[in-house]
């Protein structure tokens, strides 16, 4: 009897991780990030009083966050994924503590913590997904994950603006701390295991520059990165310049929050885009989505400040097609990456998000020097058209 151990009854009853497991984790994480997605650019504008300087601020923060992303495989190898994921939750909460100072140093520190936390959560979650979801189910799992996050990205931005304007800065950023803590509790409840095969062998380079070289040498991974980069650039522009556009044109802060929430409310169609990808092929659907997105952006840029509400409606149409890329785009990477280098390649792949947060503000800070705010959307439309052509030309027809 001395060797008999009684285990709690609920431990073996926990279901194995599946698509709903990761959809729920991503949904709570989305609440933690979406709640202040519209507050951050407005808060930065209140501090700096210039949309061009706001763009420069985003550029600086993205450059600083990029190095963290590239070194993430080393952190995972040293501390294990579960602790890196935990650190990501904590960083989101710490970032909110910096934001409430409402100073430029606090704004920079808060944005950097937010970028670092999002990087840790994104990379580790993708590794868990590739461990527990079969390749043939990636498209369905990703579309479900996007659909579940709809609730966060729909209500979160408006909730954040409402709390910020009616109850103050502590209420808006305090909500992030609550969601980050809930995410941490949910993650440890699921008890996701670290697959030892995910760790690189001794012969595999751990140096970030070597990982970049291995990534660039693989055409399918390069293509997957470009697909993700293009659609992420839309969301960066939408989240940053959408609220700014509403404020600058006189529609108000709440209109900016409602615009972002309305765009995110369309995430429920991710399930239908997933079905369309399975029915017509991912290559056709993603190519169509990119060209349709480009058309909406060209129209929005052409109208610009002359009719702000019509411009906002066109941006929402662009968001509808971008969601197709959210639902299908990441499967190009998950189906192409080799199993023995998932951690290294996932970190390099994740740089699409850092570059998409870096490139639009950097480019737009130059464009806004010579043209009006509508030029931002025209520039983004040109990138979407290019990504659509490359996707059609080089993504395998069997995809």
Mean pLDDT of the chain: 82
Q: Decide: helix, strand or coil at residue 82.
A: helix
Give the count of domains, the chain: 2
- The torsion angles phi and psi of 250, rounded to 5 degrees, stand at 90, 10
Who has greater pLDDT, 20 or 385?
385
Instruction: For residues 166 and 214, state if they share a domain.
Output: no
CATH, residue 111: 1.20.1250.20
Task: Say whether both 271 and 324 belong to one domain.
Answer: yes
Q: Choose between 182 and 357: higher pLDDT.
A: 182
Length of the chain: 399
**Residue 257 lies inside a defined structural domain of this protein:** yes
State the DSSP string of 101-142. Answer: T-SHHHHHHHHHHHHHHHHHHHHHHHHHHHHHS-GGGHHHHH
Please indicate, yes or no, whether residues 371 and 285 belong to a single structural domain of this protein.
yes
187 and 317: one domain?
A: no
Mark whether 150 and 218 lie in a shared domain: no
CA dist 98 and 89 (Å) reads 15
pLDDT in tens, 152-200: 877 787 788 888 888 888 999 999 999 999 999 999 888 876 554 444 4
In order, the DSSP letters of 321-373 are HHHHHHHHTHHHHHTTS-GGGHHHHHHHHTHHHHHHHHHHHHHHHHHHHHS-T
Q: How confident is the model at residue 6 (pLDDT cuts 50, 70, 90)?
A: very low
Asked if 333 contacts 225 with a C-beta cutoff of 8 angstroms, the reply is yes
Can you give the C-alpha Rg of the chain in angstroms?
A: 21
Q: Is 151 found in the same domain as 73? A: yes
> What's the maximum distance between 2 C-alpha atoms anywhere in the chain?
81
Residues 230 and 180 in one domain: no
Tell me: do 183 and 214 sit in the same domain: no
pLDDT tens-digit profile of 74-99? 787 788 888 999 999 999 999 999 99
**Domain of 385?**
209-398
**3-state DSSP assignment of residue 99:** helix
Residue 107 included in any domain: yes
Q: How confident is the model at residue 58 (pLDDT cuts 50, 70, 90)?
A: confident
- Write the CA distances from 40 to 5, 47, 294, 326, 349, integer angstroms: 51, 11, 26, 23, 25
- The residue ranking higher by pLDDT, 17 or 111, is 111
Could you give the CA distance from residue 138 to residue 129 in angstroms, rounded to a whole number? 9
Residue 13 has pLDDT above 60, yes or no: no
Per-residue model confidence as pLDDT tens digits over 313-346 = 999 999 999 999 988 888 888 777 777 777 778 7
CA atoms within 13 A on the CB side of 4: 2
Confidence of residue 398 (pLDDT cuts 50, 70, 90): low
Tell me, what's the pLDDT at 2? 43
Which span out of 216-230, 257-271, 273-287 was modeled with the highest average pLDDT?
216-230
Q: Do 298 and 367 fall within a single domain?
A: yes
Residue 206 confidence (pLDDT) above 80: no
Helix, strand, coil in percent for the chain, rounding step 5: 85, 0, 15
Cα distances (angstroms) measured from residue 332 to each of 219, 283, 316, 329: 11, 10, 25, 6
Residue 32 has pLDDT above 70, yes or no: yes
Poorest-confidence range of 2-6, 70-74, 129-133, 238-242? Answer: 2-6
Question: Does 260 lie in the same domain as 121?
Answer: no
Q: Is the pLDDT of residue 50 over 50?
A: yes
Regarding whether 215 and 176 lie in a shared domain, the answer is no
> Per the domain annotation, does 202 fall within a domain?
no
> Does residue 178 form part of some domain?
yes
- Dihedral over alpha carbons 101, 25, 315, 321 (to 10 degrees): 160
Check the CA dihedral 23-29-33-34 and report its sign.
positive
Question: Is 166 contained in some domain?
Answer: yes
Q: Is residue 178 located within the same domain as residue 324?
A: no
Please report, to the nearest 10 degrees, the dihedral formed by the alpha carbons of residues 33, 276, 395, 332 taken in order. Answer: 40
Residue 331 pLDDT: 80
| Cα–Cα nearest to 324, from 133, 147, 149 | 147
pTM for this entry: 0.72
């Amino acid at each position: 009897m001395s060797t008999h151990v009684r285990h709690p009854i609920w431990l073996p009853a926990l279901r194995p991780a599946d698509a709903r497991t990761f959809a729920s984790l991503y949904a709570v994480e989305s609440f933690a990030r979406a709640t202040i997605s519209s507050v951050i650019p407005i808060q930065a504008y209140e501090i700096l009083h210039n949309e061009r300087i706001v763009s420069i601020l985003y550029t600086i923060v993205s450059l600083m966050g990029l190095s963290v992303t590239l070194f993430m495989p080393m952190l995972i190898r040293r501390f294990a994924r579960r602790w890196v994921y935990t650190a990501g939750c904590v960083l989101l909460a710490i970032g909110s503590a910096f934001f409430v100072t409402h100073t430029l140093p606090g704004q920079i520190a808060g944005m950097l913590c937010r970028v670092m936390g999002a990087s840790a959560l994104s990379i580790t979650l993708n590794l868990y997904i590739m461990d527990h979801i079969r390749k043939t189910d990636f498209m369905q799992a990703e579309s479900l994950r996007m659909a579940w996050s709809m609730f966060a990205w729909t209500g979160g931005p408006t909730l954040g603006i409402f709390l910020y304007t009616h109850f103050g800065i502590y209420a808006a950023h305090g909500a992030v701390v609550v969601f980050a803590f809930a995410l941490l509790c949910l993650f440890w409840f699921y008890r996701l295991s670290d697959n030892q095969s995910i760790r690189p062998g001794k012969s595999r380079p751990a140096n970030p520059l070597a990982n970049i070289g291995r990534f660039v040498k693989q055409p399918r991974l390069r293509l997957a990165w470009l697909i993700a980069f293009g659609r992420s650039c839309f969301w960066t522009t939408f989240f940053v310049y959408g609220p700014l556009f509403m404020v600058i044109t006189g529609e108000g802060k709440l209109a900016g929050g409602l615009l972002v929430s309305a765009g995110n409310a369309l995430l429920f169609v991710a399930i239908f885009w997933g079905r369309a990808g399975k029915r017509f092929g991912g290559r056709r659907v993603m190519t169509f989505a990119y060209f349709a997105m480009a058309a909406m952006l060209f129209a929005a840029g052409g109208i610009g400040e002359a009719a702000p509400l019509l411009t906002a409606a066109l941006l929402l149409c662009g968001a509808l097609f971008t969601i197709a890329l959210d639902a299908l785009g990441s499967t190009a990477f998950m189906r192409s990456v080799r199993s023995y280098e998932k951690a290294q390649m996932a970190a390099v792949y994740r740089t699409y998000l850092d570059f998409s947060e870096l490139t639009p503000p950097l480019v737009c800070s130059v464009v806004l020097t010579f043209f009006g705010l509508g030029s931002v959307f025209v520039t983004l439309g040109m990138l979407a058209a290019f990504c659509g052509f490359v996707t059609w030309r080089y993504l395998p027809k069997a995809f």
